[in-house]
């Protein structure tokens, strides 16, 4: 079977007639807990997954950048000094080039804005991160491209600076108003650990997950309902959070605690209050999850994960029937915890299950989807994997 790494290299050779200078890759991610907290300066606990995006990259002398990928017919090529005529893209607007190409071109543009310069490049991209599944296929493209250009242009940026470059591409080249979680998870992930990230300071600490030692597995249940964060609900939720913070007279919802909620309820309308309550309680759940993982291990976090889903379903209102069915069915079939993961409005849910019940839970969810007339889900296990690196 052709691996995505081989596919990227082969595509590069077809495009240029010669071998690349190297191949770099970055993973997708699953978020264990901490949803819609990143752009509120809060806490998140994601981990990188084994699915990766590979970028085969080589230099060219004419000052142009060309990007090709196995998921598009045509390569896109522009002069490096024309990138600033393409971007920024207004939030919610169509990017100036096809969306997939805006991610890597936006990374090159954001690196230039950060002071990096270099010769032209050819970039060939291949990936096995499912697209539109809430598993951060976009952060994986950004991370692979940023890692390659950082080295070839000798920019010497560290991993969290490269994560910020990726987010800038996503926000200002693609026009999706997302936070920093996905790019940090993709750049800084480590095998067998989750990344506890303070999104205000970008302090990152690894928390061991010890899945195999404890006999547990994490199941991803991709509903195959596609979502996009450059439009619609995601931006609306973000705006509600900003409104809530303004009413509370704080810089961001990170500065509101669970004890402040009764006062918040008196000050704002019901919808804004419920958005605020989700973020405030979710921040607390991330802290409680980290404490429980460190003190007792992954078996102790089931209730927190379920509470997170309920809060997203009822207060933040970003779940959909397919996600609720996946979560409820997994729990009934014996999962320790389950929740939707990522931005919502589609994408995937995760379940924490005993290794011995993986099949039983998967079968139950597949059967429940069939009974509800939903498209068959794509269900697989993931283990926390390494972040971005050079492969060859
Ligand atoms: C998407 C965004 C992230 C984060 C999550 C929700 O994945 O890219 O920045 O906001 O949604 O937690």
Report the separation in Å between the CA atom of 178 and the middle of ligand 1, taken as the mean of its atom positions. Answer: 6
Range 259-285 average pLDDT? 98
* Cβ neighbours, 10 Å, residue 45: 24
29 lines ligand 1 (CB under 6 A): no
Q: Is the predicted pLDDT of residue 236 greater than 90, yes or no?
A: yes
Candidate from 28, 39, 91, 182 with most ligand 1 atoms within 8 A of CB, to mutate:
182
Dump pLDDT digits (tens) for 290-323. Answer: 999 999 999 999 999 999 999 999 999 999 999 9
Candidate from 139, 167, 179, 187 with most ligand 1 atoms within 8 A of CB, to mutate:
179
Task: Give the position, in ligand 1's atom list, of the atom nearest the Cα of 234.
Answer: 11
Residue with tokens 């971007």: 87
Enumerate domains of the chain plus CATH numbers: 4-206 (3.30.230.10), 209-382 (3.30.70.890)
User: Where is 59: in which H helix or E strand?
Assistant: strand 43-60
Q: Is 269 designated active site?
A: no
Ligand 1 atom 11 nearest Cα: 343
Q: Is the predicted pLDDT of residue 229 greater than 80, yes or no?
A: no
Dump pLDDT digits (tens) for 327-376. Answer: 999 999 999 999 999 999 999 999 999 999 999 999 999 999 999 999 99
CA nearest 198: which of 124, 252, 117, 254? 254
Burial call 150-161: b when 16+ CB within 10 Å, e when fewer: bebbebebebbb
229 lines ligand 1 (CB under 6 A): yes
Q: What is the pLDDT of residue 231?
A: 64
Report the separation in Å between the CA atom of 342 and the middle of ligand 1, taken as the mean of its atom positions. Answer: 6
């Amino acid at each position: 079977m052709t691996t995505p790494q081989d596919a990227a290299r082969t595509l590069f050779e077809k495009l240029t007639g010669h071998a690349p200078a190297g191949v770099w890759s970055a993973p997708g991610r699953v978020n264990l807990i901490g949803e819609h907290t990143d752009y509120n300066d809060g806490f998140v606990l994601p981990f990188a997954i084994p699915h990766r995006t590979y970028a085969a990259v080589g230099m060219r002398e004419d000052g142009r950048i060309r990007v090709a990928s196995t998921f598009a017919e045509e390569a896109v090529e522009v002069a490096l000094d024309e990138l600033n005529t393409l971007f920024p893209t207004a939030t919610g607007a169509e990017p100036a080039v096809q969306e997939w190409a805006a991610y890597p071109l936006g990374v090159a543009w954001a690196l230039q804005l950060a002071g990096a310069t270099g010769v032209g490049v050819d970039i060939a991209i291949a990936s096995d991160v499912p697209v539109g599944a809430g598993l951060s296929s976009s952060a994986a493209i950004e991370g692979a491209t940023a890692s390659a250009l950082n080295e070839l242009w000798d920019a010497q940026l560290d991993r969290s600076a490269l994560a910020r470059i990726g987010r800038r591409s996503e926000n200002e080249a693609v026009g999706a108003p997302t936070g920093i979680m996905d790019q940090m998870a993709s750049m800084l992930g480590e095998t067998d650990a989750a990344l506890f990230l303070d999104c205000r300071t970008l302090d990152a600490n690894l928390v061991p997950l010890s899945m195999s030692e404890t006999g547990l597995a994490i199941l991803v249940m991709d509903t195959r309902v596609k979502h996009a964060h450059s439009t619609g609900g995601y931006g609306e939720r973000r705006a509600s959070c900003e409104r809530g913070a303004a009413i509370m007279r704080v810089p961001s919802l990170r500065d509101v605690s669970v004890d402040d909620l009764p006062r918040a309820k008196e000050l704002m309308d019901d919808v804004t209050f419920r958005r605020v309550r989700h973020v405030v309680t979710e921040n607390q759940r991330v802290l409680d999850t980290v404490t429980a993982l460190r003190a007792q291990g992954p078996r102790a976090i089931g209730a927190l994960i379920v509470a997170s889903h309920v809060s997203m379903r009822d207060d933040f209102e970003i779940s959909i029937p397919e996600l609720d069915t996946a979560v409820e069915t997994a729990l009934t079939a014996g999962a320790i915890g389950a929740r939707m993961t990522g931005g919502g409005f589609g994408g995937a849910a995760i379940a924490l299950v005993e290794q011995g019940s993986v099949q039983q839970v998967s079968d139950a969810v597949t059967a429940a989807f069939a009974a509800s007339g939903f498209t068959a889900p794509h269900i697989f296990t993931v283990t926390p994997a390494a972040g971005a690196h050079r492969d060859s």
